[in-house]
């Protein structure tokens, strides 16, 4: 696992502001879940339950594994607010996806949504994939999605925040200003993103400001394919974006489905 650059996940409220409305990958994971036999799914890095709750509402049994205690605690609070039949289909566990040790051959699908694999170095990726394979039944599915590699080479500069976004804060009528700066290290193939959130009150005054860091290893399609094969998987499908168009070298995302070989 990358040694730093995951402090965004230590602040669930900030993470929720950043990603609460994202639904782009749900069609992909519903497609994968429909292939799961049995209909039991292990989600690696379940975060605040965005994908897990969607699949549980569709009738699947979901185990959500999360490394960050703060994220898991908020996920559990959100689970308790779900309808009874849905929340009973969700189990949450604190743990590391690289060393997960549920009873073997239990799940019909293991999923790693929303760039989870990009938080792993080569050793961590191999460990995660081996653990995922051990959790699957024969012919069980593994699926992941992540950003395709970027050809960037920028300097970190405190004065050079870019990509300003304005988002409404419905809870108090204010505005969340989000801007970021990025640096790509070619030697390690790691993209570091610094995200700054500034909360403005309805009158325009500053209510607070936080800065968080996310580091993501840039994996190519070929690298992921080789890692999956080494872990005992056979690739089935690969899509290039959330609209499920086939993958191509200029695609913005890599959305892979493999089966346990």
Question: Per residue in 30-55, pLDDT tens?
Answer: 999 999 999 999 999 999 999 999 99
Q: Which residue from 11, 2, 74 is spatially nearest to 212, judged by alpha carbons?
A: 11
DSSP 116: G
User: Distance (Å, rounded) from C-alpha 226 to C-alpha 42?
Assistant: 23
CA R_g for the chain:
19
Cβ 120 vs Cβ 1: under 8 Å: yes
Distance of CA 137 to the CA centre of its chain: 23
pLDDT given at position 166: 61
Cβ 66 vs Cβ 46: under 8 Å: yes
Angle made by CA atoms 119, 250, 234, in degrees to the nearest 5: 60
Contacts of 151 (CB under 8 A, 6+ apart): none
pLDDT given at position 163: 56
> For the chain, which residues score pLDDT lower than 70?
1-6, 8, 151-173
> For the segment 53-94, what is each residue's pLDDT rounded down to a tens digit?
999 999 999 999 999 999 999 999 999 999 999 999 999 999
**Three-class SS state of 134:** helix
Cβ 27 vs Cβ 244: under 8 Å: yes
User: Distance (Å, rounded) from C-alpha 84 to C-alpha 188?
Assistant: 46
Cβ 60 vs Cβ 89: under 8 Å: yes
């Amino acid at each position: 696992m990358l040694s730093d650059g995951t402090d965004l996940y230590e602040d669930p409220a900030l993470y929720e502001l950043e990603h609460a409305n994202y639904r782009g990958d749900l069609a992909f994971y519903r497609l994968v879940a429909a292939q799961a036999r049995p209909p039991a799914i292990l989600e690696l890095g379940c975060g605040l339950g965005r994908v897990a709750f969607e699949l549980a509402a569709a009738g699947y049994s979901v185990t959500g594994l999360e490394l960050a205690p703060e994220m898991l605690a908020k996920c559990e609070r959100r689970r308790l607010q779900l309808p009874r039949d849905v929340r009973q289909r969700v189990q949450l566990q604190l743990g590391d996806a690289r060393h997960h040790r549920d009873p073997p051959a239990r799940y019909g699908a293991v999923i790693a949504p929303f760039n989870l694999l990009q938080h792993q170095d080569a050793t961590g990726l191999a460990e995660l994939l081996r653990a995922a394979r051990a959790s699957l039944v024969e012919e069980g599915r593994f699926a992941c999605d992540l950003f395709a590699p970027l050809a960037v080479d920028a300097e970190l500069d405190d004065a050079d925040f870019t990509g300003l976004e304005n988002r409404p804060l419905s809870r108090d009528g204010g505005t969340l200003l989000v801007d970021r700066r990025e640096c790509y290290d070619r030697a390690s193939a790691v993209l570091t993103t610094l995200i700054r959130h500034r909360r403005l009150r309805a009158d325009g005054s500053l209510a607070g400001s936080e800065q968080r860091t996310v580091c993501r290893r840039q994996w190519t399609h070929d690298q992921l394919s080789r890692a999956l094969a080494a872990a005992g998987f056979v690739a089935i499908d690969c899509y290039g974006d959330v609209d499920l168009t086939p993958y191509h070298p200029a695609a913005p995302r890599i959305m892979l489905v493999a089966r346990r070989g």
